[in-house]
Structure 1
């Protein structure tokens, strides 16, 4: 269940809002009719954030899979000289020089 109230109303009813949230409700606070905040239990917020992270991870996974399955381009994306410079830089970094 969700409740909507103005910020002014919320100031006067903080204890009631907290009890509602503890009971599982979401309370949306509005200012001039525009939603500015939603009060939810911390466990609900954690789940929602985790869902977003999992969705992002799935998206990255899909992109990587497409890259693995797709054909390689016929032309290199960097020149041979640039590749050699990059490899030399990596080797230098590994040696600590």
Structure 2
């Protein structure tokens, strides 16, 4: 990303808009501090869409946390069978 001063941005706005249209981002600084960034509308829409998807995932996770999920159960016999299989597979290596 290129950074230009506010006075340079004012003088070269059409050229900066061409850069943004070509896919670049242009940071504009005032007194050495970036105060604005020129980006394409598609970029801002993609960012907005990404935040909306993140919010949706967050809401789904919160809803899932509130659900009562029955605890998984396993009989002692099944647990011993699985442990036995694991030991067999180890010794077979």
TM-score by length of 1: 0.66
Cα distance per residue 1:14-50 (max 9 Å; x no partner): 0110110010000111112222111111111101111
> Which residue does the alignment assign to 1:76?
none
* Deviation of the 1:70 alpha carbon: 6.4
> Which residue does the alignment assign to 2:64?
65
Runs of 4+ in 1 over 6 A off after TM superposition: none
* Deviation of the 1:4 alpha carbon: 0.9
* Deviation of the 1:9 alpha carbon: 1.1
CA distance in 1 between counterparts of 2:28 and 2:68 reads: 48
TM-score by length of 2: 0.68
Aligned Cα root-mean-square deviation (Å)? 1.6
1:50 aligned onto 2:49:
yes
Aligned length: 70
* Deviation of the 1:69 alpha carbon: 3.7
CA distance in 2 between counterparts of 1:29 and 1:6 reads: 5
